[in-house]
Structure 1
Amino acid sequence: MESSEEKVVAVIMVGGPTKGTRFRPLSFNTPKPLFPLAGQPMVHHHISACKRIANLAEIFLIGFHEEREFALYVSSISMELNVPVRYLKEDRPHGSAGSLYYFRDVIMEDSPSHIFLLNCDVCCSFPLPDMLEAHKIYGGLGTMLVIKVSAESASQFGELVADPSTKELLHYTEKPETFVSDLINCGVYVFTPGIFTAIEDVSTHRQDRANLRRVSSFEALQSATRTHPTDFVRLDQDILSPLAGKKQLYTYETMDFWEQIKTPGMSLKCSGLYLHQFRFTSPHILASGDGTRSTTVVGDVYVHPSAKVHPTAKIGPDVSISANVRVGAGVRLINCIVLDDVEIKENAVVMNSIVGWKSSIGKWSRVQGDGDYNEKHGITILGEGVTVEDEVVVINCIVLQNKTLNVGVHEETIL
């Protein structure tokens, strides 16, 4: 029987409805963590990666979505992977480190020796077992996943400096105004339980300062508007930055893919990255077909078993088709996510787009985007229940739910 000190738990931060507003209209009816990428909910890729960790005892999802929104998923994924998955709802936002501390008693129930912490809005190959091994060798409080990016894009993330030989984190700054390093924080960590003491120290220090402060009621009011509550602790600014250079934090660099999912455009890109990863990790998930007796499939494609795709359609690369989708004769799909209960009629083309639940695309219609994932109108997004009538062209548009398009539109937001 394995000893308790070998147990590992994982915590995935899933945020809440006040976060991820840039993900609209796709998050109006479905919490962002449950939005499907490559046919699986966004958070599913994190959970599957956690399953590969040796001696994993439990997975916790922490956020402030309503519990009912996660109840069905948590139940089904626990049974599917045979590992306990629990959703923990915050009473209010406590910050990334504060949330961890808020549920410390629950997280430490099985006395784990290590705690993984993952942000839900990142997409990567999650080399968690290798991270854990490196962390044990380093012998520090925590190890963070890092990656090199272009100098131009680095300022959008937490930049850091690490010792090239020991991998110790020497300096960390969140979204600096001037260039610090092309090495950035990936939002994936492994800690020892000592992380709770570090978080508690921040809260205690804040409380002490508040108690010692002697100001007028007006000054106190002004100060209160500028500071966070004592139990609101951010992992990056409040923990990583102060502990850098103190031989407590270390880095593990990934050479694989990594992206941050803030917008629908990035979700489309990440769906393609996960589809490509399936080729090596889960090839049985991917569809195939040569156009003789079945649909022509090009590149990496996922088709839900309940979907009906006409044999004369051509699909791929980087296409994900969800449940109960109907794809007609002669349809061409390229780099797109097609969500549940969509109908795409004969000879329509969908490219660089996300087609929302229960939408309909008419015969000979064309729904497409330029494929610039970072631009607001770089891809086309159809919200839930959108109807595109026959022979209508929609290019680089965002269309909110339950709209009907009977004329062509280009680079517009249809409210």
Structure 2
Amino acid sequence: MGVTEVILAINYQPEAMARFLKDYESKLGMKITCSQETEPLGTAGPLALVKDKLIDESGSPFFVLNSDVICEFPLEKMIKFHKAHGGEASIMVTKVDEPSKYGVVVMEETTGKVERFMEKPKSFVGFWMDIGQPRYYITGLGLYLDSLRNKGSSKLSSGSHIHGNVLIEESAVIEGDCVFGPNVAIGPECVVEEGVTLSRCTVMRGARINKHACISNCIIGWNSTVGQGACIEDMIILGDDVYGYDKISCNGRVPPS
């Protein structure tokens, strides 16, 4: 049996997060529990809040993941490795361009046993990226979509209007004469009207893109609207329920709501 329960350590808008996650419990077939921090507890502190859930009589291991990292996690290989060596914990590491920025690991070459946190880490096949900043989120989206392509995933969209990797949720409504790609994700319950061009962007749940809008290198937040004929590009980020006026042109700053 694989992962059956996910526990999320949350702080900001816990009620909204809990409502959002309810949809995914049935979709993913697993229990999702939220553990709220009433004060900042640091990186490891939230684990103490759910200690009783993590440590039980079964002695089953659990994964600890940062939510702002996108990665092709080899979880099955990792759990087999962990059970085989019998140690207290296992850490997955990879190479990065700036090791000093993330911290690095020195390990015993033959066994993988961690000796200290100083030198270059061991790599794995796949991808990894910290997506805690918007521009890295867009790059991380591209890595994820590339991963789906390499696996031959049926989730990716196809058609004459699709250029490169594009992911469209089934409940999204797409009108004609649109051009999507590369690296586009359109969330559930979105509406994209005719003649829209999207590239290197994420359109989140419930957003609406009106006719002939052009969006590039942007994040369109939940329930937001981009006006007819609008052109927004270069890391414009619309938050929740923001309205961008018709024919507005924005480059690198948040438009008025």
For the aligned pair, the TM-score class normalised by the smaller chain equals 0.7 to 0.9
- How many pairs does the alignment contain? 256
Residue of structure 2 in register with 1:213 after alignment:
none
Q: Distance in 2 between matches of 1:341 and 1:56?
A: 29
Q: Distance in 1 between matches of 2:197 and 2:42?
A: 44
For the structure 1 residues 365 and 55, does the alpha-carbon distance in structure 2 shift closer, same or farther, using more than 3 Å as the test? closer
Query: Residues 161-183 of structure 1, C-alpha deviation per residue, up to 9 Å, x if partnerless?
Result: 122222121111xxxxxxx5342
Using the size of structure 2 for normalisation, the TM-score is 0.86
As a proportion of its length, which structure holds more helix?
1
Residue 145 of structure 2 corresponds to residue 162 of structure 1 = no
Gaps of 5+ in 1: 1-53, 173-179, 184-251, 291-295, 370-378, 405-415
Residue 245 of structure 2 corresponds to residue 388 of structure 1 = yes
Q: CA offset at residue 257 of structure 1?
A: 0.8
Q: CA offset at residue 334 of structure 1?
A: 0.7
Q: CA offset at residue 319 of structure 1?
A: 0.7
Residue of structure 2 in register with 1:355 after alignment:
220
As a proportion of its length, which structure holds more strand?
1
Query: Residues 90-128 of structure 1, C-alpha deviation per residue, up to 9 Å, x if partnerless?
Result: 443333333323422222245233121111111101111
Q: 1:121 aligns with which of 56, 62, 68?
A: 68
3-state SS of paired residue (1:259):
strand
Query: Residues 221-269 of structure 1, C-alpha deviation per residue, up to 9 Å, x if partnerless?
Result: xxxxxxxxxxxxxxxxxxxxxxxxxxxxxxx742211011211222222
Residue of structure 2 in register with 1:279 after alignment:
149
Q: Distance in 2 between matches of 1:314 and 1:284?
A: 20
Q: CA offset at residue 280 of structure 1?
A: 4.7
Q: Distance in 1 between matches of 2:228 and 2:15?
A: 38
Q: CA offset at residue 310 of structure 1?
A: 2.5
Q: 2:186 aligns with which of 286, 300, 321?
A: 321
For the structure 1 residues 70 and 361, does the alpha-carbon distance in structure 2 shift closer, same or farther, using more than 3 Å as the test? closer
Bigger drift between 319-328 and 118-127 goes to 319-328
Q: CA offset at residue 141 of structure 1?
A: 1.2
RMSD: 2.5
Residue of structure 1 in register with 2:52 after alignment:
105
The answer (yes or no) to whether the contact 2:227–2:243 under 8 Å persists in 1 is no
The answer (yes or no) to whether the contact 1:312–1:330 under 8 Å persists in 2 is yes
Q: CA offset at residue 317 of structure 1?
A: 1.2
- The aligned amino acid for 1:78 is E
3-state SS of paired residue (2:171):
coil
The answer (yes or no) to whether the contact 1:345–1:362 under 8 Å persists in 2 is yes
Q: 1:83 aligns with which of 7, 23, 30?
A: 30
Residue of structure 2 in register with 1:200 after alignment:
none
- The aligned amino acid for 2:251 is I
For the structure 1 residues 75 and 341, does the alpha-carbon distance in structure 2 shift closer, same or farther, using more than 3 Å as the test? closer
Higher radius of gyration, 1 or 2: 1
- The aligned amino acid for 2:170 is P
For the structure 1 residues 93 and 266, does the alpha-carbon distance in structure 2 shift closer, same or farther, using more than 3 Å as the test? same
Q: Distance in 2 between matches of 1:344 and 1:133?
A: 45
The answer (yes or no) to whether the contact 1:123–1:261 under 8 Å persists in 2 is yes
Query: Residues 258-288 of structure 1, C-alpha deviation per residue, up to 9 Å, x if partnerless?
Result: 0112112222222222222233557232222
- The aligned amino acid for 2:242 is G
Residue of structure 2 in register with 1:181 after alignment:
119
For the structure 1 residues 110 and 311, does the alpha-carbon distance in structure 2 shift closer, same or farther, using more than 3 Å as the test? farther
- The aligned amino acid for 1:271 is L
- The aligned amino acid for 2:73 is F
Q: Distance in 1 between matches of 2:24 and 2:139?
A: 25
Using the size of structure 1 for normalisation, the TM-score is 0.56
Q: CA offset at residue 57 of structure 1?
A: 4.7
Q: CA offset at residue 350 of structure 1?
A: 1.0
Superposition pairs of residues 297-376 of structure 1, within 5 angstroms: 297-369=162-234
Q: CA offset at residue 318 of structure 1?
A: 0.8
Q: Distance in 1 between matches of 2:238 and 2:20?
A: 25
Gaps of 5+ in 2: none
3-state SS of paired residue (2:64):
strand
Residue of structure 2 in register with 1:72 after alignment:
19
Higher relative contact order at CA 8 Å, sep ≥6: structure 1 or structure 2? Answer: 1
3-state SS of paired residue (1:262):
coil
Q: Distance in 2 between matches of 1:327 and 1:280?
A: 27
Query: Residues 39-75 of structure 1, C-alpha deviation per residue, up to 9 Å, x if partnerless?
Result: xxxxxxxxxxxxxxx4545332233345423333444
Residue 136 of structure 2 corresponds to residue 259 of structure 1 = no
For the structure 1 residues 312 and 301, does the alpha-carbon distance in structure 2 shift closer, same or farther, using more than 3 Å as the test? same
Q: Once the two structures are aligned, what percentage of the paired residues are identical? A: 28
Residue of structure 2 in register with 1:288 after alignment:
158
For the structure 1 residues 365 and 77, does the alpha-carbon distance in structure 2 shift closer, same or farther, using more than 3 Å as the test? closer
Q: Distance in 1 between matches of 2:13 and 2:223?
A: 24
